[in-house]
Amino acid sequence: MGGDYGPHCIVPACISFLAEYASLQLVLVGQAPLLEEHLRGLSPAERQRLHIHHASEIVTMDERPSQALRGKPDSSMRVALELVRDGKAHACVSAGNTGALMALSRYLLKTLPGIDRPAMVTAVPTQTGHCHLLDLGANVDCSAEHLYQFAVMGAVAAEALGKIDPRVALLNVGTEDIKGNQQVKLAASLLQQARGVNYIGYIEGDGLYRGLADVVVCDGFVGNILLKSSEGLAAMVAARLEELFNSSLPAKAVGLMAMPFLRRLRGDLTPSQHNGASFLGLQGIVVKSHGSAKEEGIQSALRRALLEVRENLPQRLHGRLEHLL
């Protein structure tokens, strides 16, 4: 029910996702009459795999997390997380209020042993593939111990998703040992002593996009600004290219020749292709979609959740964290 577009976008995305994965079933949690309206016209076979679980309340995008936690026991967000907690669903995907989702997730699902705070992580495109960036805004103020925990979780998650011996770096204002604030320096000291983590040192913002690390760690304040700035830059570059190729007839001719490459580039860089930030460190799978995500972006978040379910990520994290924390 959350996000900028609500069921108008989420329901079609779910229908397309089910067409892509024939063996899956999805549960739509929210106000049943409204959801039923959006499911009109589906074939019996399609409808059989798309279930509705009624929840009478909605957490708005501007509500305080405390209000969602204490004042709305039947919100769609809370009910969806309860389904995960009770083993009736394998994962929760939400485009709603990030702070409320984090608060409810911590309260209902609890953190893994040894983890103080969950972290938001997503895959960011680089010159050489992808880099796992965390935290993305769940933890604006972080201690050195929190950054260390994020680094360990990010490394284990990257390994679980197919990266062998992932390179872990701390995002900093320089690569020299003397650079950075006290928290980053202390976190670096902890990581240098950690066994089982391939810590390579500090990395700057340009190094992230050059693919110099597989996992990049920072606090949520820095990470959120970096992510949103990157999305804005990608959109600006795409718009400028389109403007340039439409500026004259010769430019249009060049644009037509370059179109296959431009489409591939846009597909690699568009934010909707990388939508879906995981809450690492919980005893359950929760994926946060961008609030402004449309159908394609919601499908990307669903794919991220499916991947983590197939890899049994929380259990794998738990097994590795016992030896690293």
Q: What is the pLDDT of residues 18-74, one digit of tens each?
A: 999 988 999 999 999 999 888 887 888 888 899 999 999 999 988 999 999 999 999
Cβ-contact 320, 112 below 8 angstroms:
no
- Give yes or no for a contact between 29 and 53, defined as CB atoms under 8 angstroms apart: yes
Q: Which residue has the higher pLDDT, 251 or 188?
A: 188
Distance (Å, whole) CA 137 – CA 143: 14
Q: Is 66 within a domain? A: no
Residue 237 in domain: yes
pLDDT tens readout for residues 123-141: 888 988 889 999 998 888 9
Of residues 153, 117, 160, 155, the one with CA closest to residue 312: 160
Q: Is residue 28 part of a domain?
A: no
Q: Which domain holds residue 257?
A: 121-273
Per-residue DSSP letters for 161-207? TT-SS-EEEEE-S-SSTT-S-HHHHHHHHHHHH-TT-EEEEEE-HHH
The CA radius of gyration of the chain, in Å to the nearest whole number, is 21
In DSSP notation, 64-77 reads -HHHHHHH-TTBHH
E-strand ranges in the chain read 26-30, 50-54, 91-94, 119-126, 129-134, 167-171, 198-203, 215-217, 277-280, 285-288
At residue 272, the pLDDT reads: 64
pLDDT at 112 > cutoff 80? yes
The whole-number pLDDT of residue 232 equals 85
What is the model's pLDDT at position 185?
Answer: 95
Candidate from 14-18, 183-187, 197-201, 263-267 with smallest mean pLDDT: 263-267
The distance from CA 220 to its chain's CA centroid, rounded to whole angstroms, is 13
Q: What is the pTM of this model?
A: 0.87
Half-sphere exposure of 19 (CA within 13 A, CB side): 9
Pairing label, strands 129-134, 277-280? unpaired
In one-letter notation, the amino acid at residue 87 is: G
Give the model's confidence band at 267: pLDDT under 50 very low, under 70 low, under 90 confident, else very high: low
Tell me what the mean pLDDT of segment 311-316 comes to: 90
In this prediction, residue 148 has a pLDDT band, given cuts at 50, 70 and 90, of very high
**Does residue 255 sit within a domain?**
yes
Count of domains forming the chain = 1
Residue 61 lies in a domain: no
Mean pLDDT for the chain?
89
With 80 as the cut, is the pLDDT of residue 114 above it?
A: yes
Bridge partner list, 131: 124
Q: For the chain, give the percent of residues with pLDDT over 70.
A: 95
Q: What is the CATH number of the domain that holds 259?
A: 3.40.718.10
The count of residues in the chain is: 325
Q: In this model, does residue 266 exceed pLDDT 70?
A: no
**Domain presence at residue 212:** yes
Bridge partner residues of 124 (DSSP): 131
Main-chain dihedrals φ then ψ at residue 20, nearest 5 degrees: -80, -35
Interhelix angle for 295-311 vs 7-20, to 10°?
50
What residues have CB less than 8 Å from 142, skipping those under 6 apart? Answer: 117, 135, 150, 183, 219, 220
Q: Residue 278's closest CA among 92, 37, 27? A: 92
Identify the burial level of 248 via C-beta atoms within 10 angstroms of its C-beta, where 0-12 means exposed, 13-18 middle and 19 or more buried: exposed
Assigned domain for 150 exists = yes
Give the pLDDT confidence of 185-242 residue by residue, as tens digits: 999 999 999 888 999 999 999 999 999 999 999 999 999 999 889 888 878 887 888 8
Q: Residue 305: inside a domain, yes or no?
A: no
